[in-house]
Amino acid sequence: MRLPHAQVALLEAADADDARRIDALADEAGLKPETATGAAFALEDEGLLALAEETVESATLTDEGRAYLDEGLPEVRFYRGAIDAGADDEPAEMGPVIGAAGLDGAAVDIALSNFARKGYGKIDSGAVSADPGADPDSDPEAAALAALADGESVADEDVLAQLDRRGLVEISETTVRSARLTDDGVTTLMAGVEVAETVGQVTPELLTSGEWRDVEFAEYNVEADADEVRTGKTHVLRRQAENVKDTLVGMGFQEMQGPTVDADFWINDCLFMPQDHPARNHWDRFALDQPAQIDELPAALVERVESAHREGVGPDGEGYHSPWDLDFAKALALRGHTTSLTARHLSGEALGELEPPQRFFSIEKAYRNDTLDATHLLEFFQIEGWVMAEELSVRDLMGTFTEFYEQFGITDVQFKPHYNPYTEPSFELFGRHPETGELIEIGNSGIFRPEMLEPLGVDCDVMAWGLALERLLMLVTGAEDIRDVHGTLVDLDFLRSEEVLY
Ligand SMILES: N[C@@H](Cc1ccccc1)C(=O)O
């Protein structure tokens, strides 16, 4: 019988009594594992090999596991430190033990909890006693780390599970295939097999010479394992932004553009935000050093905005009666919201004076010096939007959100009365997280006050909002930590997973 080279080599390496792992056979036959697997499938089809498949767990050390392998487990070092401090005789103070062990930072806590768990000793109101009979040299976790580092396996499931819980190993599952010669395989081998030269690809030479008629072509095995190919693709957040854009354009909105770094005038003053508002001086703003001020502001508008701040608008205007300083308004910062774009558009600065009805949106970054956590980063994409019409009410506002969120399958949107200096009434929006069931804040909205609109020269109603794209993404994908999605700690497995591939 004539067979391709890899199949002959594999057949000769295989055994009739013993199922042998294909990677071992590949090694012996001098084949690449994937070539051997392909050949094994082909031989299975011919009935010459019987294949079996099993899933095995394998554990590899994490960086932390590797570090402990070199330096010793923190609890073992702590035990040795305790012995050095004489704690096997009488209780010793914690400080010297930690010092003798050379531990610091998080390693101290790790040492303490495992020291007691493993029965190396006790800690009682800060005093350490060490069990003189304990034997850290045969610590099963340390032994397991060493075994894994040598490529051996660990038989004790509990120890392995413990190392996994401690984050010292990473456990992964792989499929292992093994092959055994069938009776047919044995007879075929005995009858003799020869290597048939096969051709993997048709070349121009084969075609022009006509040689293709005489050669044997390798068969494709469409079931063979192949390397996973990870092509570049648009980031899930960018894709979500595109979806939102399509949705809003479908709802009749036009896109706004404008600067990322802007004058406080456009970010705050035009929104009737008093200059002594905490958010304006506060550490949560990213000010610009160079240049520190905008070159130009429209003088007439500045005058109207200043007057609204000082005296209010209309006959009953109150204003803030607080100082208003042009230099303060000219200061440049990374915008803390994209409502600066709304201000520029409503004032006519961006596209000239606008007549109702109008609908505008933007999906752009806003920056806040927040504390990082599962729902906050220093920057986020804000879905800004506004509608200008002769008459608008809260029903219009809520109806718009209901229509918008429904397109993303989100039907449980809740509204909570809120306060913004520039809207009245104002509402915060909440959505229910599909995984945790918790209500999370997804946006802020309202109907602009006359103190904002009049100086901008708008004499009809405007309702507006800022929604967080990241929060929408969390509701859509079930992501529980925004840091998995973007930033420096992203979870690549999550980003590659099916749930974000919709
Ligand atoms: N600027 C608000 C959002 C908002 C925009 C327009 C009107 C009302 C609210 C924020 O960042 O939270």
> 175 or 326, which is more confident?
326
Domains 2-60+173-217 and 74-138 share a fold: yes
* Separation between Cα atoms, residue 202 and residue 502, nearest integer Å: 38
- Which atom of ligand 1 is the closest one to the Cα of 463? 7
Tokens 């854009």 sit on residue:
245
Tell me if 384 is assigned to a ligand binding site. yes
> 62 or 484, which is more confident?
62
Ligand 1 contacts CB of residue 362 (under 6 A): no
Per residue in 71-81, pLDDT (tens digit) is: 999 999 999 99
Per residue in 375-430, pLDDT (tens digit) is: 888 999 999 999 999 999 999 999 999 999 999 999 999 999 999 999 999 999 99
Does the structure show a pLDDT above 70 at 500? Answer: no
Tell me if 477 is assigned to a ligand binding site. no
What pLDDT is attached to residue 43? 95
**CATH class of the domain defined by 74-138:** mainly alpha
Tell me if 407 is assigned to a ligand binding site. no
Calculate mean pLDDT across residues 238-249.
96
Tell me if 79 is assigned to a ligand binding site. no
Contact 142, 71 (CB under 8 A): no
Ligand 1 contacts CB of residue 420 (under 6 A): yes
Tell me if 448 is assigned to a ligand binding site. yes
Does the structure show a pLDDT above 80 at 282? Answer: no
What pLDDT is attached to residue 83? 95
Q: Beta 2-4 vs 194-196: how paired, if at all?
A: parallel
Calculate mean pLDDT across residues 491-499.
78
CA of 466 to the centre of ligand 1 (A): 4
Does the structure show a pLDDT above 90 at 201? Answer: no
* Separation between Cα atoms, residue 325 and residue 466, nearest integer Å: 27
**CATH class of the domain defined by 238-500:** alpha beta
458, 455, 400: which is closest to 427 by C-alpha?
A: 400
Tell me what the pLDDT averaged over the chain comes to.
92
Calculate mean pLDDT across residues 189-215.
87
pLDDT band at 283 (very low <50, low <70, confident <90, very high): low
pLDDT band at 278 (very low <50, low <70, confident <90, very high): confident
* Separation between Cα atoms, residue 13 and residue 181, nearest integer Å: 9
3-state DSSP call for residue 446?
strand
CA of 324 to the centre of ligand 1 (A): 22
Ligand 1 contacts CB of residue 464 (under 6 A): yes
| Across 18-22, 159-163, 282-286, least confident range | 282-286
Does the structure show a pLDDT above 70 at 470? Answer: yes
CA of 445 to the centre of ligand 1 (A): 5
Among protein residues, the one with the nearest Cα to ligand 1's atom 8 is: 445
| DSSP summary character for residue 145 | H
Ligand 1 contacts CB of residue 483 (under 6 A): no
- Which atom of ligand 1 is the closest one to the Cα of 448? 7
pTM value is 0.61
Tell me if 367 is assigned to a ligand binding site. no
Per residue in 320-361, pLDDT (tens digit) is: 988 899 999 999 999 999 999 999 999 999 999 999 999 999
pLDDT band at 44 (very low <50, low <70, confident <90, very high): very high
The share of the chain scoring above pLDDT 70, in percent, equals 98
Task: Show the tokens assigned to 355.
Answer: 């007549």
Choose one of 397, 401, 428, 445 to mutate for the ligand 1 pocket test, by most ligand atoms within 8 angstroms of C-beta: 445
Following CA atoms 138, 139, 140, 145 in sequence, which dihedral angle do they give, to the nearest 10 degrees? Answer: -110
CA of 387 to the centre of ligand 1 (A): 13
204, 324, 188: which is closest to 264 by C-alpha?
A: 324
- Which atom of ligand 1 is the closest one to the Cα of 336? 11
List strands edge to edge, sheet with 127-130. Answer: 92-93, 127-130, 121-124
What is the domain partition of the chain in residue ranges?
2-60+173-217, 74-138, 238-500
**Is the omega angle on the peptide bond into residue 425 within 30 degrees of 0, that is, cis?**
yes
Second-level CATH architecture of 2-60+173-217:
Orthogonal Bundle (1.10)
Looking from the CA of 127 toward its CB, the CA atoms found within 13 Å total 10
Does the structure show a pLDDT above 80 at 281? Answer: no
